[in-house]
Structure 1
C-alpha cells in the first residue's frame, strides 16, 4: 500500500536561514526555530506569522511546546534557554546555562524538553548527562537534579515522554539512555545506532520511542518495563530507506504512521505496523523538521508540516490511499 500526500501551501515569508525545528501545536498552530535566531508562531491555514520573538544573535537549536500549546521552550546555540508564553507574548524566564555557578559544573544546553506538566524542563549538552531544572517563573532555570549516563559524550537530544514518567537522551556516539523519573534511575541503554542520534519521537502512549540517526536509519524502541522490573525489548524495528542522515522524526497521533526528514532531501511516511515506507516526498533541500498535526481530519491520513534548509515551512495534507 502507498499513501498520497499533497503540498498544501508554504509559509508567507521564508526564514533567513535553515529551519532547525518545527512543532504543530494543540491549538492548530506551528512554532518554528531557525538558524537565523528567530522563533515564530504561524497560522496553519494562511502560513502567516502570528507572533515572533526578536531574533537571537545566534541560531536556535532546540524547541519544545507544552501539550496545551500555550508555552514554548527553546534554546540558543550558546545555551540560553527561554520559556515563551504564547497567551500574552511574554518570556516567562531565561537561563544562561553557559554561566558557571558555585557548586555546579557548567554544561551549556544544546537540547531542551519541557515536562508535560510545565513545572520542569530537561536539558543536555557537553557533559553527557540530563539536567533537570525548574520551569517556574519565580526560579526559572534553578538546578533540581542531574541524571548521569556514566559516559561523557556530548548530549544531542533530550525528550520527556508524553506521560512525564521518563526522559530519553542520546549521545553523539549513538547511545540512547532512558531514565525513570520516579526513581531518577537509568532503566535502559540502547546501542541501536553506532553514530549520532539527532531526533526523537515518542508515541502518544509513551510506550515507543523512535530515533533518527546519521547512520541513515530510524529505530523503533519499546521502553516499557515488565512486571518483573526488566526493561522493555529495546529495538523492535529498523526503518531503512534514506540515503543520508535522518535529521527529524515524528509519530502520528494514532501511533500508526511516522515521519522522517533527511539530508537526502526527502520526507518519508512510514507504516509502523508494516515497518515500511508508504510514501516518499522529494524536497528541494535538506529536511531538518517534521511534525504531524495533532488532530487528523475525518477520513484523512493526517497532515504535517516540514521545515528545510532553504528556510521554508511547507504544509502537507493526506490525499487518500493508492
Structure 2
C-alpha cells in the first residue's frame, strides 16, 4: 500500500486543526470529511476535491474533539467552552448540549452500535458514557488511583485522560492517559479490568503495535479498514504509513510545515 496526494487546502481554518474524522454516507449524500479547529468552527468537506460544504458554528472557544455517528446523520464536537455539542450534520441544528467541566473532554467516540457516546474525561480521570437516545449521562468509568496514594497526592493525579477507544464488539473501552498508561474497562459491568504499560509519554491516540521511527511525539494514529496498515501523525511535522506485517514505515509524508495532529483513513 502507498498513499498518493490528491489535493491540499491551505488556510482551511484560521487556527490549528486538531482533529479530523469521516462522516459516513447517507441515502441522500456521499461521505464527508469533518475537521475541527481552535478557530471555534467545525467544517465539512467533500473528500474528492476538498470543496468546503459547510462551516458549523456554535462553540465560543476552540473545538478540540469531534466524533461522527455511524449512520452519518449526527456528529458531536467538544470545545474548551466546557460543552459537548451534538448536531445534525446536514443542517447544523443542535440536537443536544452536554455539559462538561473545564479540561474534561479531549476525545470522543461513538460505540459500534451507535447507542453510546464515550467521552475521555480529562482531569476527572474517567470516561463518561452518554446515551444517544435521550442524551443522559448513564455511567462514569473511573480509573482507580495507584495503591498507596491518597486523594491529595499530586502524583495520583497523572491519570489525565486524553483518548478513548471502543473494542469492535463494543464490550470494552480503553483510554490513554497523560502518564503513558492505557486503562481497559468492561463496559457491561462498568468495571476496571487492567492497565497496559509500556509508553513513557502521554497516550494521545490508540494503536496496537510497538513501532519506532518518528523523531518526536506521535499525536495521532488510525488503522486502515482492511487492518493491513497504520497511519500516524507526529510533532516532527510528518505523517507516516506503516505496514503491520513488516512493522516498519513504508512511506513518510513531509509536506506539512507544523505538527500533524490528526490522521484518518
Please report the TM-score for the alignment, with normalisation by the length of structure 2.
0.86
The partner residue of 2:202 within 196, 200, 207 is 196
1:259 maps to which residue? 231
- Distance in 1, matches of 2:22 and 2:105, equals 23
Q: Which runs of 5+ in 2 are unaligned?
A: 26-30, 146-156
CA-atom RMSD, angstroms? Answer: 1.9
2:173 maps to which residue? 167
CA contact (8 A) 2:171 2:187 kept: yes
Q: Does the residue aligned with 2:36 lie in a helix, a strand or coil?
A: strand
Superposed, 1:145-224 pairs within 5 Å as 145-151=139-145, 152=157, 153-200=159-206, 210=207, 220=208
Structure 1 segments, 4+ long, off by >4 Å, are none
CA contact (8 A) 1:33 1:62 kept: yes
- Distance in 2, matches of 1:7 and 1:71, equals 29
The partner residue of 1:246 within 218, 241, 251 is 218
- Distance in 1, matches of 2:40 and 2:46, equals 20
Q: Does 1:289 align with 2:262?
A: yes
CA contact (8 A) 1:180 1:187 kept: yes
The partner residue of 2:129 within 108, 127, 132 is 132
Deviation (angstroms), 1:12: 7.3
The partner residue of 2:40 within 34, 37, 40 is 37
Give the number of equivalent residue pairs.
246
2:24 maps to which residue? 26
Higher strand share: 1
CA-to-aligned-CA distance 1:246-268 (integer Å, 9 cap, x gap): 11111000000000001101111
1:7 maps to which residue? 5
Q: Does 1:53 align with 2:45?
A: no
Deviation (angstroms), 1:161: 2.8
1:118 maps to which residue? 114
Q: Which runs of 5+ in 1 are unaligned?
A: 99-105, 201-209, 211-219, 221-236, 293-322
- Distance in 1, matches of 2:49 and 2:98, equals 34
The partner residue of 2:92 within 69, 84, 89 is 89
- Distance in 2, matches of 1:37 and 1:288, equals 16
Q: Does 1:269 align with 2:253?
A: no
Please report the TM-score for the alignment, with normalisation by the length of structure 1.
0.71
Deviation (angstroms), 1:66: 1.6
Deviation (angstroms), 1:71: 1.8
Deviation (angstroms), 1:35: 1.2
